[in-house]
Chain A
Amino acid sequence: MTRFVLHRIGQSLLLLLLVSMIGFALLHLAPGGPLAQFALTPGMSQEAMQRIAHQMGLDQPLPAQYWQWLRRLLVGDWGRSYRDSQPVLWVIGSHLGATLELMASSTLLAMILGTGVGVLGAIRRYSLADYAAMVGAMVALSIPTFWFGLVMIYVFSVRLAWLPAGNIATAGDGSLLDYARHLIQPCVVLALVTVATWSRYMRASMLEVINQDYVRTARAKGLRQLQVLVHHSLRNALLPMITVAGVQLPILLSGALVTETVFTWPGMGRLFLDSLGYRDYPVVMGLLIFSAILVLAGNLIADLLYVVADPRIRLT
């Protein structure tokens, strides 16, 4: 097991290096490259530009530049935002909470719903409900997230006027209820794709498990159906889902970006689009690399959790 863990961590570090290289390449592709921020400053002379370029090491060969940039990246010096000169990491950090809240709540919702639908589909395989769930999941995977958001707003905010159409809270309210009312729609919208994927994988995983010999052994013991289902089928079927949860992360982050835009939710996604609008490249690049690191870390954590959860791996 130790070997697996070390191997997996080494692999992640290698990927991190590759991710940083891609980020660096994109940074140099940006109009004006890393200097663009100063080009926008009025009254900057050509000479001054060259001096800054020298200070930043831009006249050095690319590998040396990359090395410098990587070192700054690793020590947390990600540059400053053009807009308000705040450190990029600080800007990202101040928007991270809202995004994580949204992602966590919608993932929770999606896992509960998706597990239920997947398990039902597996134990009532090819029933009308199973068929409907599979078609429903396919349609859910095909709906553009932002459009689903618009439909929700149209129904629940415009027509029924039950829920607020955007923002994280009503200014000056501060009650938990107000917060919850704001969370419902973005949470459901972001959960749509995850529910669909989760239920499809859950159904497949469950189908693998319910015909296993050990489930028959559990039934031969006289355990109640629910006990067999929970302890001897679901428990086993959920194991591979840990990996699925990790793999879902990039899709979840993409979905969060769109959802935050539709519901003016003050998270990383909104920040990304705003920064894009201001051509605030340090923040854009920072967010791009930050999101990739989140995905990397998420996958690593999922794999390590799997090791802990599965005795077959843990104890070898």
Chain B
Amino acid sequence: MSGTVADIPAASFPPARSTRAATRFLRHRLAVAGVVVVVLLIAACAIGPMLSPYGPLTIDLRRRFQAPLAGPHWLGSDQLGRDLLVRLLMAGRISLTVGFVAMGISTAVGVLVGLLAGFYRGWIGTALMRLVDAVLCFPSIFLLLTLAALVSPSLATITLIIALTAWMEVARVVQGQVIALRERDFAVAAEAIGASDGYIMLRELLPNIMAPIIVAATLNVARAILAESYISYLGYGIQPPTASWGNMLNNAQEYLESAPWLALLPGAVITLAVTSFNFIGDGLRDALDPRGDRSA
């Protein structure tokens, strides 16, 4: 029980609130580790390829299937003799970009839908939330692949498709929060002085529900990276020769016997990145909402 501090109502000390949230986040060691890993990954992907003598597409047929640590390629080479480390880092640029941009779009769409549905509670709100329910009925991979097959795959379309299948949870969270908030006084007071709907939504409601949005957005990065890896692995995402963490695994199953590292390494990197974002989201949830339980 560290009750004494937490028991003070948050509202009475607004400046201290963020510091306390930061303290709680830092106590969540795995979340901190997640931040460190993500920062290192981003830095490595940004800078790493420039420091390497190999390009991501440099083919060297004399050094195909070099095992990791067994030659000039640190993490080994693939069936065309391309350097695996450089390809992993270049793929990271793509996969992380897809993850962040898709998160941005899906969060924006989800917030918009959630705000509208929570604010206009009549038939507009009902219709929007039923739409959310209906989209959630489609298993995400089925929907992703169908959409991916309908468009010509490019970085932009793939990102968009991933975003379009991931906004629903955010919408649900936001709608729930808005409805809870509207029961309280701020919005009512603002309405009373004649503020416009848009003003109330963006200036009164949105700032007060940032915490759950930030948590959902963080988890959405993890989900988007995973989604990219799934559809690229299945051949409908980022297309070779551009490398992404998912499509590096595309042919890896064939070489499982002769060159297992081609399958093991990219998957391990995906797992590392996704786990990190998930832990960060978990830590943020604890930090921003001290009442919530750790689990589920």
Contact = CB atoms under 8 A, between A and B. Distances in A.
Please determine if A and B sit in direct contact within the complex, based on CB atoms under 8 angstroms apart.
yes
Interface of A: 14-15, 18-19, 21-22, 26, 29-31, 121, 134-135, 138-139, 141-148, 150-151, 153-154, 158, 200-201, 203-204, 207, 249-251, 253-254, 257-258, 261-262, 272-273, 276, 279, 284-285, 287-288, 291-293, 295-296
Given A158-B256, A291-B139, 5 more contacts: A139-B275, A142-B278, A144-B246, A147-B270, A257-B139
Contact of B142 (A134, A146, A207, A291): A291
A144 B230 contact: yes
Contact of B143 (A148, A204, A288): A288
Given A19-B138, A204-B296, A250-B136, A272 B145 contact: yes
22 contacts: A15-B134, A18-B133, A19-B134, A134-B294, A134-B295, A138-B275, A138-B282, A142-B226, A144-B230, A146-B229, A147-B266, A150-B267, A151-B263, A153-B256, A158-B256, A200-B296, A207-B293, A250-B140, A257-B139, A279-B149, A291-B138, A296-B137
B145 A295 contact: no
Contacts of A273: 145, 234
A201 B296 contact: yes
For chain A, what secondary structure do more than half of its interface residues adopt (helix, strand, loop), or is it mixed?
Answer: helix
B222 interface: yes
A14 B133 CA distance: 10
A150 B138 contact: no
Given A261-B234, A262-B253, A295-B137, A31 B278 contact: no
Interface in B214-244: 222, 226, 229-230, 233-234, 236
Residue from B137, B267, B282 with most neighbouring chain A CB atoms (10 Å): B137
B41 interface: no
Interface residues of B, number: 48
B7 interface: no
Given A141-B278, A142-B222, A258 B271 contact: no
A258 B249 contact: no
B135 A22 contact: yes
A245 to B, nearest CB: 14
A261 to B, nearest CB: 6
A158 B257 CA distance: 6
A147 B139 contact: no
A258 B226 CA distance: 12
Contacts of B226: 142, 144
Contacts of A147: 229, 249, 263, 266-267, 270-271
A150 B150 contact: no
A32 to B, nearest CB: 11
Contacts of A250: 136-140
Contacts of B139: 249-251, 253-254, 257, 291-292, 295
A203 B296 contact: yes
For chain B, what secondary structure do more than half of its interface residues adopt (helix, strand, loop), or is it mixed?
Answer: helix
Given A146-B233, A154-B263, A18 B130 contact: yes
B30 interface: yes
Contacts of B39: none
Nearest to B229: A144
Contacts of B18: none
Residue from B139, B149, B252 with most neighbouring chain A CB atoms (10 Å): B139
Contacts of B233: 144, 146
A9 to B, nearest CB: 15
Contacts of B65: none
B137 A292 contact: yes
A26 B150 contact: yes
A154 B256 contact: yes
Interface string B123-149: 000000011011111111111011101
Contacts of B142: 253-254, 257, 272, 287-288, 291
A184 B166 CA distance: 32
Nearest to B281: A138
B279 interface: yes
A288 B256 CA distance: 31
B158 interface: no
B260 interface: yes
Contact of A14 (B130, B149, B267, B293): B130
A261 B249 CA distance: 13
Contacts of B140: 250-251, 254
B138 A151 contact: no
Interface string B280-296: 00100000000001111
Nearest to A268: B142
B96 interface: no
Contacts of A293: 137
Given A147-B249, A147-B267, A154-B260, A284 B149 contact: yes
A254 B137 contact: no
A146 B230 CA distance: 8
Given A147-B270, A296-B137, A276 B249 contact: no
A150 B236 CA distance: 19
B153 to A, nearest CB: 12
B274 interface: yes
B188 interface: no
Contacts of B135: 22
